[in-house]
Amino acid sequence: MTIARPDRARWRRVDDAALIELVDAYEHSFDEGQSPLVREMAAGGGVEAAPRLARSDDAATRLAAARLMHLLPDERHVAALEPLIGDPDPAVAGLAWRALRNQRRTPEWRAAVERIAADGPEERRGTAREWLAER
């Protein structure tokens, strides 16, 4: 079965809907061509758009934001990921947690993980402490 890919010309614009469509195409891609999709996400403004998308009222949009932040790590994402790990949608919360793990270990990352270890979702506290103990 071949998955139809969205119109590539749309990806050139920094457009939230196009970025969400691109994330969806990535999620449904089973070939080795995913790296070009990640490059398209970056070129389409995915790093900058992800924190804005994370504030959406729509769970599917927050999920796309968490996926963007997982695929395109950036120190600016930590502040947007921290509240998402407690998202009421379990898929968003789980992907945000994986995305947080994937970020660079900056002082901001460490501070966020320390807050999660102390006061975050109960099921995340132990793992957060483990992350802090890693070198």
End-to-end CA distance of the chain: 44
pLDDT confidence band for 2 (50 / 70 / 90):
very low
Query: Is pLDDT of 10 > 80?
Result: no
Let me know if residue 114 belongs to a domain.
yes
Domain count within the chain: 1
> How far apart are the C-alpha atoms of 47 and 60, rounded to whole Å?
18
Percent of the chain with pLDDT over 70: 84
Question: What pLDDT is attached to residue 33?
Answer: 54
Angle between helices 122-133 and 107-119 (to 10 degrees): 140
Question: What pLDDT is attached to residue 85?
Answer: 97
Domain that holds residue 16: 8-133
Let me know if residue 3 belongs to a domain.
no
Question: What pLDDT is attached to residue 94?
Answer: 97
pLDDT greater at residue 79 or residue 24: 79
Contact between 100 and 112 under an 8 Å Cβ cutoff? The reply is yes
1-5, 99-103, 118-122: least confident range: 1-5
Question: What pLDDT is attached to residue 11?
Answer: 42
Question: What pLDDT is attached to residue 34?
Answer: 61
> Span 4-23, mean pLDDT?
66
Let me know if residue 78 belongs to a domain.
yes
- Contacts of residues 87-91 at CB distance under 8 Å and 24 or more positions apart, as own/partner, are 87/59, 87/62, 88/59, 89/59, 89/62, 89/63, 91/59, 91/63
Q: What is the pLDDT of residues 37-90, one digit of tens each?
A: 888 899 999 999 999 999 999 999 999 999 999 999 999 999 999 999 999 999
> How far apart are the C-alpha atoms of 132 and 97, rounded to whole Å?
14
Let me know if residue 63 belongs to a domain.
yes
CATH of the domain at 30: 1.25.10.10
